[in-house]
Structure 1
């Protein structure tokens, strides 16, 4: 078979269709499926491998794919004509041409007879090598009613969507009925034409948005270069300011110690003079007693004693070592370091999903321009503040803290070793789904916390979880390639000593079909979770990590089997790296990193609290800008994802 032929393939198994084989059927996504995959009884659903859409076999129609059939026929006729046989009498000869009116393939002999017959002489016959997709379009065949066998199906009931005969028309009095040919032409020339126009317009919209994205990317590249230059000049200015301040302090330091040196040199000079006087008086006294007569001593007594008494009585100032302890004041140094370390960090002050939903085609570029200008202005003002005195530095710190809370989505940036640019970490504003809470086991109290106590104010209704002891989030995690992070704070009070394998709490993610299969997702496929429970193996309360229904890790000594406690955990989901990380926030360490996470379908965050008769659990969801994101926590996440 010629290599140029590219026959349509089954969207499920990928096997090519062949001319003369079973007819392909049409999936709702407009891809084809073979008869074998359609008849396969191992599953109630079909998943198209091309677009990853899944369809229920029982609730979906799979009509014959006439487009694929025509494509197979045309390609086979063009590239492998020997496989196309004459349909007249089934004589097995190779077909040479096609009659669209007869819907028949003709061999050389049948074509000659076809042209000789008066009834078929005017038919348009096309050689196979010249056959095009527009040739041989079948007109509606004459079909007969199964109930009124002598009456042709010449009408089409648009209300009931079926072909009927004139006899059946009596039973379709209130329906909209047209001639079959008119209905066919209307569908072809009006309905499908309008759909094609709508699709073309949609493609134009998508193309326009694509161009906007390219514009945003180009603008971002320009702004990135401008930002680099801005940061270069900004930090150069900052370094000059620091160097200037260093020189000023060095000068002040030298002047301060020069004053110390001058004072002490003056002291040394005065001490030298006093020491010389005392030394002279002492030497004279020693010689005066040995060498003078009685009269001489008595005559000079007053002069000598006056000098010696004066020397002895002269005051000598004491000196303290504290006078040399000139130190540099470190006032506000901590605030200064903190301000410099956080200065210039970029935040995204909006919910990206909400922005795309409310302004899908217009405001992205303007919003970006506004954000860049605002951030540049903020950086300039922050730099000026850094040049000011200590009180302004304190005000700057509070300003930087307020920038983190400009929206429900808190965006932080991770310095990943495997990429050259900062990776955004989204603290997504998850919410408990109050309409899904299993009220037979748990409820959400007035503070918004999930507690392991049955609700006595509302009864479980339609749509609520029946088996799972907790609830899920209101929406699945987005699959946009950015790491996402959320936390849960748990207040746990043990009403009595626990035994056996009693569950306390659970946090994790799973697919939609696993949300309500059991009281816990820990033993289910397509689930990833961290469970706190009593552990008979270690004889205490442990943290257990589960992946795809299997336990992969058990960490003992989570908390003593007594007294109230607070447990604080964080979860990181990275669909790009296919990883989930569980963090013990209180202990400041990563408990476990799960690799090769199946992210092909959306995953739902799940929250469970258990066994109200033995333990009291209150789980608070901490999300968005309420999360305290420290540099130490960032470092843990980076290490876990690397």
Structure 2
């Protein structure tokens, strides 16, 4: 519904006006609409009846989601103010007749009072004109009201306890979350009792902004899903068009062959049918899933827009938590379809030797157009002198984002020493045969601690860069740097491949910055929350207020850097509070009294035991704000917490991406990270009396990147 009210040509959807179980129109009392967290509404009577028969919770009849009831249905599920407002509007629009809400005779209403929110008859109109207290009220005729019902619905509410007091404040406490007046704030919602009070309009503005942002994100996902569906449908039609051609070719070939080929012919035709049937089944399944997700998202967007349009500030705030949770959960819905240009053909390359290889002739081969669909992923790591090292891996990923399993392009590699005086000379050429299915490994035994370069040539591919450098490093406890090159087609030249470069530097933690009262280092990358037995020498660089440690060197201020942090924590006894914190920050922010994420110059992920969710939760923080909050696991005594996160710092866009490295999912993106000064990776570790925790900085050659993880890193660098 738009803001013109009766000028809208579309009728209000019936699902907003009546209960979908009893099919009765909503009203007050037992027919009052109540909204579930899935944004589906039912009348109070039907929900209470369902709760009487339920053992675990109320199950939504539309989406089969089950929701727990706390104390009572009325106390658990909020009133659907959108439905109540639309019901009132529908009655007026449909009949132009609405009864007076103030008189016992229920006479025909002629006006709407903006301040009272009541429909009144002629007697009520006269009373408003006679009483001094009501003379300031603005009265609209029914026709005037229908021209702008949205504006009239969203006027400020008045307090039911303190007569005449507007509900212009909002209690943000977790146990309240309700609109209050100034008198309520002084009497029953005082700050000394732990209540947090804000102006309702300011709270509404912040919450409405978050809701609108969620709407935009879901609308974008819907657009991508529709485009993916259209592309997949076109590709399926192209495959169906090829079906007739390939069957015709098969028949023409086999008509000239001996009778013994007939069985082979029928088998090949069946193979073609199976391919098409599988593709159709995959397409129909993806289409059904996409349409289902699209329906849920459209309903959520439609309801959210209605809430923003017709609810008052206080009413919207009561619905905001349900809206935000639902729309955030919908972000996890995967509605994109694979867009793969596939084809199949008959292998007729051995016609001359057909009689001797008839049983193998004519295999139906599914292809992805041509070898150019293979994306090289090249990983180069530093080596140790005198030891054979796997310094280069060349993997191939095809356009459907799977490792190439068929024949892959051939490569040629020359390892040369970068020595200007003696000139570069070939040192080694070797490919590892065990990795033939997905690519090649190049092993090399460097004799000296100098710079080397690998010159790479890939058949059927034109590379914009064919030289990849690496260094031979001393083996005395130092890790090895690593560089990942992900191939992507260059703009303006579809045959030329450039590379997206991601650095995985070796990051060690500095003992000179370690807070010895809280933690200790087992090696240069492993931190535990147990102080050392003997004190180390004093150092002015040492952290004295923050329970953690800083990296030995800062991140470079260009390109893209990636590293990971793993945590293993044992719960020793039940408590609440922080378990660990990690991320990047300026050096000045790394000796704070407690949380680096409280600083304007710290961008962190914190793992805490949350008293709200009764769970261990992940929170991203900056400048005292919790920007992202996700429950991980319920904490139990003696339980073990295992967290594995990745950080991708993109200095080209000033963004820090926080990644769930276990599931290869993006958790949160810090935008507009201040890179004007050096940024330092760090680890902080808390509460060693309640948690036994180990943090490990996974960097350089230690990181294990699967194909799905590489694809996520590529998407993050290309999308943001």
Bucket of the pairwise TM-score, normalised by the shorter protein: 0.3 to 0.5
With structure 2 as the length reference, what TM-score do the two structures score?
0.36
Query: More strand per residue: 1 or 2?
Result: 2
Of Structure 1 and Structure 2, the greater helix share is in: 1
Larger radius of gyration: 1
